[in-house]
Amino acid sequence: MSLFEVGRVCVKTHGRETGKKCVIVERIDKNFVLISGPPEVTGIRRRRSNVDHLEITTKKVDIKAGAEDKDIAKAITSAKLTPFMKGKEKK
């Protein structure tokens, strides 16, 4: 099992979104994953990201691979992670 699994919450460590949290939506290959904030929660839009630019957290949400942003937002809310995702709570 990979640490970079679907539903894992991560923190961006590079780029203009450094420090913002996102959710892994899909594993592309050994070096890249598809992530989403989603935008209405953290401001990170769906995009491909290098795994070297992500720091994994212990938090995980229950989503299917390729889930839509609205489903990710619902999963974040049901897991009571909205304050954490918006950066108002520590790891």
Cβ burial of 43 (10 Å; 0-12, 13-18, 19+) is middle
**pLDDT tens digits, one per residue of 7-31:** 999 999 998 999 999 999 999 999 9
Mean residue pLDDT across the chain: 92
18: in domain: yes
The tens digit of pLDDT for each residue in 41-60 reads: 999 999 999 999 999 999 99
Q: What percent of the chain has pLDDT over 90?
A: 89
The two three-digit tokens of residue 56, written as one number? 């994994």
CATH of residue 12's domain is 2.30.30.30
Strands 32-36 and 8-12: unpaired
User: Domain range spanning residue 16?
Assistant: 8-85
Number of domains in the chain: 1
What CA–CA distances, in Å, run from 32 to 3, 22, 53, 73? 13, 14, 10, 22
Do the domain assignments include residue 2?
Answer: no
Residue 5 clears pLDDT 60, i.e. is over it? yes
Does some domain include residue 31?
A: yes
With beta carbons less than 8 A apart as the criterion, state whether 46 and 24 touch: no
Instruction: Answer whether residue 17 is part of any domain.
Output: yes
Q: Is residue 3 part of a domain?
A: no
* Higher per-residue pLDDT: 90 or 54: 54
Task: Assess if residue 72 is contained within a domain.
Answer: yes
